[in-house]
Amino acid sequence: MRILILCHSFNSLTQRLFVELTECGHEVSVEFDIHDRVTAEAVTLFGPDLILAPFLKRAIPESIWRSLPCLILHPGIPGDRGPSALDWAILNSEVAWGVTVLQATAEMDAGPIWATAQFAMRKAAKSSLYRFEVTEAAVSAVLESIAYFPDYCSRHWQPTAQTDWPELHGQSRPALRGQEARIDWTLDDTATVLAKIRSADGAPGRIDTLFGEQVRVYNAKPYPALGAPGALLGMAAQGLVRATHDGAIWIGHARRGKNPIKRPLAQLFPECLSLSLLDASPVDPIHYEEHGPVGMLHFDVYNGALDTESCIRLREAWLMACQRPTRILILMGGHDFFCNGLDLNAIEAAESPADTSWANINAMDDLCETLMQTTDRLTLAALHGNAGAGGTFLALACDAIWARKGVILNPHYKNMGNLYGSEFWTYRLPRRMGNTRLLDRRLPLGSTEALRLGFIDRELSPADFDAQIIAQACHWADSPGFATQLSQKQLQRATDEADKPLASYRTEELKQMQRNFYGFDASYHVARAHFVNKTAHAWTPRHLARHREPGF
Ligand code: COA
Ligand code: THG
């Protein structure tokens, strides 16, 4: 089938559906929802059988939904309507929720239902639910809908009008903005404060007042402390600890006024530095655990963005873990993301973005170098969440890569203003794949294709990810072939080093990066500013809008 994905942006859910539908053999092309006229042009150029809208904020014009079926993926249960579906589900403490594929009609989200899928709610931020539960349910509901399509065309099947749906529990709910569901620090308990913040995290962010100023807050976790409700109890891991009436929460990030850039609170308010320093361990993104012959190093940084300081701390933690008598050391990443490379928000907010980029990439390369120089044991990158740009090549610095089935990788740099990239990709990528084609393809890579191409070594089912990783890594560490594999790796590293030292790869890559950061062509700085400021798209990139390729 020819499927045109119409979307506000190519977000993780849209990328996952793009990958799944392509994997099923469908011909998929993407158009950003920029203007009705441009959408109409895309339909004429591509001639799709149907339109799929996984992430759309505007109405599809009548001329289009009358001419071909347009399937809207709504992150709510049947009957639910409105642009803030998940936000309400979290605030209302729903225990089960769902996604619904409905056909676009004149009234928003009121069209007939093609398919729906349920999931259990988890106590997490909206964006985290969106990236996992919503995404998995969406894949199932979309594939079910697509399977009905032949019968729909031959009129043997039709979607169910909402009024005929047997259990229509959802309802129409208004848009929920940041200033609504305000936190009442004197009355709200910890669970309520968390729900209010999480229902607006990653966007738009719940509004609160800190140091006499209105801010939007993100990245909240419960923190074991007590105090007068609303009191700022201290600072931990770059964030603030604030008392509720039955406990306390830690707030990691915020943004001020109209500035769209989220920053750690300690970076945003110098006032934080006068507060007392509390124990960081309950909220530290970097932590180590050990299971027999296997060590696991987690780094659960917000949005997978690894700033200079985090690279340095992570490298130190890795070196500490290397002191332990383990045979396999696993780089775990975070729950939501494995890693997304350099912290572009920190870079954009810096006095000198060029100098900060340079410091960040050098710290990242130090980290990669340390991973590759760990030759006394085997190293494994375990990807529960997605990885992008430098974050994917960080994983490549380990001996093996195992990923959750459904992970989306973006192993390329060029979308960020033709950035050359480093992290020793010029050494690791050709060794692993035999070529560097992925860099120019610029498309998301699903775990299944990644396994087929040899970018990853193993796909694991989504349930109990950490437990599976531990069990399988322990099995590996105790396997008869382990000692041979380790000595092969040591030999390979020594041969490679003699052939061309790591330092040479690094120098060559960084020479290009220096040009990206300090040269005449400012493309990287422009692309980064658009990315962090979330500038609306003005066109769909050619690698996505295949129907706009010359000769299509
Ligand atoms: N440095 C700094 N930040 C980085 C980064 C890097 N290297 N790489 C990624 N990020 C940030 C992105 O800026 C983004 O920030 P955000 O938290 O402010 O959105 C975040 O990491 C995730 O990256 P993105 O590529 O946008 O991933 P995503 O697609 O998984 O997440 C949504 C975005 C869709 C979850 C979010 O926009 C949202 O909550 N939307 C509402 C969805 C919804 O309910 N829609 C219903 C209407 S149909
Ligand atoms: N039919 C048609 N087009 C559609 C949908 C449809 N486009 C996508 C849409 N479903 C996805 N869902 C919604 C539902 C409601 C709103 C927006 C997207 C909405 N928006 C408010 C408005 O437009 O005034 C305000 C939005 C805001 O404040 O963010 O209510 O079923 N043809």
Q: Whose CA is nearest to atom 32 of ligand 1?
A: 127
Handedness of CA 153, 157, 163, 168 (dihedral sign): negative
Using an 8 Å Cβ cutoff, are 496 and 372 in contact?
no
> What order do you get walking across the sheet with 96-103 strand by strand?
27-32, 2-7, 50-53, 70-74, 96-103, 113-120
3 state SS of 194: helix
CA of 159 to the centre of ligand 1 (A): 31
CATH 3.10.25.10 location in the chain: 187-274
The phi and psi torsions of 256 (rounded to 5 degrees) equal -105, 135
Q: In angstroms, what is the span from residue 180 Cα to ligand 2's centroid? A: 19
If you classify domain 2-164 with CATH, what class do you get? alpha beta
Q: Which atom of ligand 2 is nearest to the CA of 102?
A: 31
- Picking from 319, 343, 342, the residue whose alpha carbon sits closest to that of residue 331 is 319
- Which contiguous run of DSSP H or E holds residue 469? helix 465-477
Report the run of H or E that residue 141 belongs to, with start and end.
helix 135-153
Distance CA 285, CA 474 (A): 24
Which burial class, exposed, middle or buried, applies to 458 when counting CB atoms under 10 A from its CB (0-12, 13-18, 19+)? middle
Q: Which atom of ligand 1 is nearest to the CA of 345?
A: 2
202: CA distance to ligand 1 center in Å?
6
User: Is 187-274 assigned to CATH 3.60.20.10?
Assistant: no
Cα 221 to averaged position of ligand 1 atoms, centre (Å): 19
Give the list of residues 6+ apart from residue 131 with CB closer than 8 angstroms, or none. 12, 13, 336, 385, 386
Nearest CA to ligand 2 atom 15: 82
Tokens of 75: 């992150």
Start-end ranges of CATH 3.40.50.170 in the chain? Answer: 2-164
Rounded to whole angstroms, how far apart are CA atoms 79 and 537? 31
Give distance in angstroms: CA of 303 to centre of ligand 1.
8
197 within 8 A of 87, measured Cβ to Cβ: no
DSSP for 199-256, please give it.
TTTTTT-EEEEETTEEEEEEEEEEES---STT-EEEEETTEEEEE-SSSEEEEEEEEE
Q: How far is the CA of 191 from the centre of ligand 1 (A)?
A: 24
- CA-nearest of 259, 251, 368 to 302 is 251
User: Which ligand has the shortest distance to the CA of 72?
Assistant: 2
Q: pTM for the complete prediction?
A: 0.96
Quick one: which atom of ligand 2 is closest to the CA of 104? 1
In sequence order, what E strands does 378-450 have?
Answer: 378-383, 386-388, 400-404, 408-410, 445-446
Q: Which atom of ligand 1 is nearest to the CA of 131?
A: 30
Which residue's alpha carbon is nearest to atom 8 within ligand 1?
340
Ligand nearest to the CA of residue 338, numbered in listed order: 1
Q: Cα of 374 to ligand 1 centre, how many Å?
A: 34
40 CA to centre of ligand 2 in angstroms: 19
The CA angle 403-406-409, to the nearest 5 degrees, is 65
Q: Which numbered atom of ligand 2 lies nearest the CA of 81? A: 14
Quick one: residue 230, left, alpha or beta (phi over 0 = left, psi -120 to 50 = alpha)? left
In the chain, CATH 3.90.226.10 covers 286-466+483-512
- Closest atom of ligand 2 to 174 CA is 30
- The number of the ligand nearest the C-alpha atom of 58 reads 2
Report the nearest atom of ligand 2 relative to the CA of 61: 32
Q: How far apart are CA 146 and CA 540, in angstroms?
A: 25
pLDDT by residue for the chain (552 residues), tens only, comes to: 999 999 999 999 999 999 999 999 999 999 999 999 999 999 999 999 999 999 999 999 999 999 999 999 999 999 999 999 999 999 999 999 999 999 999 999 999 999 999 999 999 999 999 999 999 999 999 999 999 999 999 999 999 999 999 999 999 999 998 778 999 999 999 999 999 999 999 999 999 999 999 999 999 999 999 999 999 999 999 999 999 999 999 999 999 988 999 999 999 999 999 999 999 999 999 999 999 999 999 999 999 999 999 999 999 999 999 999 999 999 999 999 999 999 999 999 999 999 999 999 999 999 999 999 999 999 999 999 999 999 999 999 999 999 999 999 999 999 999 999 999 999 999 999 999 999 999 999 999 999 999 999 999 999 999 999 999 999 999 999 999 999 999 999 999 999 999 999 999 999 999 999 999 999 999 999 999 999 999 999 999 999 999 888
Residue 69 backbone class (left: φ over 0; alpha: ψ -120 to 50; beta: rest): beta
Q: Which of the ligands is closest to the CA of residue 36?
A: 2
pLDDT at residue 179 in the model: 79
Q: Whose CA is nearest to atom 20 of ligand 2?
A: 83
Residue pair 430/535 in contact (Cβ under 8 Å)? The answer is no
Atom of ligand 1 at shortest range from CA of 303: 21
Nearest Cα neighbor of 44 from 104, 4, 1 is 4
Ligand 2 pocket by Cβ (under 6 Å)? 53, 56-60, 65, 72, 82-83, 104-105, 108-109, 111, 175
> Measuring from atom 32 of ligand 2, which residue has the nearest CA?
60
CATH architecture of the domain 286-466+483-512 equals Alpha-Beta Complex (3.90)
Ligand 1 atom nearest to 72, measured from its CA: 48
Instruction: List the one residue out of 269, 324, 332 whose CA is nearest residue 304.
Output: 332
Q: How far is the CA of 18 from the centre of ligand 1 (A)?
A: 17
Pocket of ligand 1 (CB under 6 A): 11-12, 55-56, 75, 83, 85-86, 126-127, 130-131, 202-203, 262, 303, 305, 340-345
For ligand 1, the distance from its centroid to the CA atom of residue 229, given in whole angstroms, is 32
Total Cβ atoms within 10 A of residue 352: 11
Single-letter amino acid, residue 232: L
Task: List the residue whose alpha carbon is closest to atom 13 of ligand 1.
Answer: 532
Residue 534 Cα, ligand 1 centroid: separation in angstroms?
Answer: 10
Ligand that comes closest to the CA of residue 129: 1
Task: Say how many Å lie between the CA of residue 414 and the centre of ligand 1.
Answer: 19
Cα gap 397→386, rounded to integer Å: 16
DSSP 419: -
- Which residue's CA is the nearest one to ligand 1's atom 20? 303
Residues 451/459, Cβ–Cβ less than 8 Å:
yes
AA letter at 15: Q
Among all bound ligands, the one having the nearest atom to the CA of 388 is 1
Q: Whose CA is nearest to atom 47 of ligand 1?
A: 83
Cβ-based neighbours of 194, under 8 Å, separated by 6 or more: 123, 220, 221, 222, 249
